[in-house]
Amino acid sequence: MIQMIQMPRNLLTTLLGAIIATATIAQVTPPADDTPDTTPRFVPVEVSIESGARPLAAYQISVRATNGDVSIVGIEGSDAGSVFADPPYYDPRAMQRDHVIIADFSTAAADTLPRGRIRIATIHVRVAGDEVPAFRAELTAAADDRGAPIDATTNLVFGDER
């Protein structure tokens, strides 16, 4: 047999009010503002070479993430119409990590080769975690249309720094 317990109306109202108030507070408490955003994001890293007055016909560059949770997911070439418009040569298996070596060459005439500063590639990376990654580039070879070495420099521009 079920037996009903009768509670005084004031006690029941007080208990119900406390339960509803507690539940409401638990549902509307926002997360702390200092919670790091660990959602993976995709960011471009532009790679450029400064060849000065000399025409750039060939290059090889090693690009490596020095910190952060980074995966290289794609590589594209330079601007349309450039002799380096197609993606540079690279090892697809190596690019799946945080390091890639890119290289390219052109047999075009010297007057059609780029000079000065040129974006030769864009490396697309997947960044996870809240640490801002850093990258290092090492220019291992640069040559002009005759195959002579060029005293060139390389530059990396990460994401929103463009």
Residue-wise pLDDT for 138-162, tens only, equals 999 999 999 999 999 999 998 765 4
Higher pLDDT pick, 28 / 140? 140
Report d(CA 36, CA 129) in Å as an integer. Answer: 8
Q: What domains are there in the chain, each with its CATH number? A: 41-161 (2.60.40.680)
- Determine contact, residues 146/58, Cβ cutoff 8 Å: no
0.75 cut: is pTM over it? no
Residue with tokens 């890639």: 100
Provide, for the chain, the percentages of residues in helix, strand and coil under a 3-state DSSP scheme, each rounded to the nearest 5: 20, 40, 40
- How confident is the model over 82-102, as pLDDT tens digits? 999 999 999 887 777 789 999
Q: How many CA atoms lie within 13 A of 79 on its CB side?
A: 7
